[in-house]
Amino acid sequence: MPQIFRRRANTLARTSLAAIILLLGGLSVIAAGIVRSSYVTEVGLPRTQPIPYSHKLHVGELGLDCRYCHTAVENSPFAGLPSTETCMNCHVQVKVDSPLLEPVRRSYKDGLPIQWTRVNHVPGYVYFDHSIHIHKGVGCVTCHGQVDRLDVMVAARSWSMDTCVECHRNPAPHLRPLDQVFSMRAPRQSNNSETGKLLAQMYGIDSPAKLTNCSICHR
């Protein structure tokens, strides 16, 4: 029976197969890099707001507590965004003629809420509750970074699954005494910190196996 393919066809087939595997692997690496890039996650990218609110000024210099604007953070899944009335508590006396605050004054006069731009998002199929994290001693800076240094608010972390799982597998380094949860300057625990381990036991979260159960975030 005559030979249909030349012997070099075997080499060509093996080379082509290896090239396809390498190409697919390379494309997978590139795709993973794009998904984790700031272009997709928007980590570190400034978000334009209807009013140029500076956390650096209000939190860093004036010492405003997070809860003054984010009033629901201790009792609700959603931290809450400041109402116009909250802003006007100060700005009926401070910078009352500033053109930058005209949207606030107009909102107060018209009774229409300020349309703040969300900075941090989790997908709709993920359940996240701010209040439980606050009551378990997770500091604001753990997720939101040093907002007291930001003139323009940015997302400090990528809200992918591995971000949450990383903390849920080893929560102790991220825990604080409850009176330091809202502090911008409280020190972070080390990975082997005895304080972190004691806090985990105190808060009843010393079993990472429970925290990594799928039903915790996907309900």
pLDDT digits (tens, 9 = 90+) for 151-177: 999 999 888 888 899 999 989 889 999
Enumerate the domain spans of the chain: 8-35, 55-81+120-216, 82-115
Cα–Cα nearest to 41, from 146, 140, 157: 157
Q: What is the mean pLDDT of the chain?
A: 87
Helix 84-91 / helix 102-110 crossing angle, nearest 10 deg: 120
| Position 36 pLDDT exceeds 70 | no
pLDDT for 50-92, tens place per residue? 999 999 999 999 999 999 999 999 999 999 999 999 999 999 9
pLDDT category at 2 given cuts 50, 70, 90 is: low
| Position 1 pLDDT exceeds 60 | no
Sign of CA dihedral 157, 160, 162, 164: positive
Percent of residues, the chain, with pLDDT higher than 90? 54
pLDDT for 97-124, tens place per residue? 999 999 999 999 999 999 999 899 888 8
| Position 23 pLDDT exceeds 60 | yes
Residue 144: exposure state from Cβ atoms within 10 A (0-12, 13-18, ≥19): buried
Percent of residues, the chain, with pLDDT higher than 70? 89
| Position 216 pLDDT exceeds 70 | yes
Tell me the two tokens of residue 139: 């500091």
| CA quadruple 22, 23, 29, 34: dihedral, nearest 10 | 170
Dist CA 82 CA 153 (whole Å): 14
| Position 199 pLDDT exceeds 60 | yes
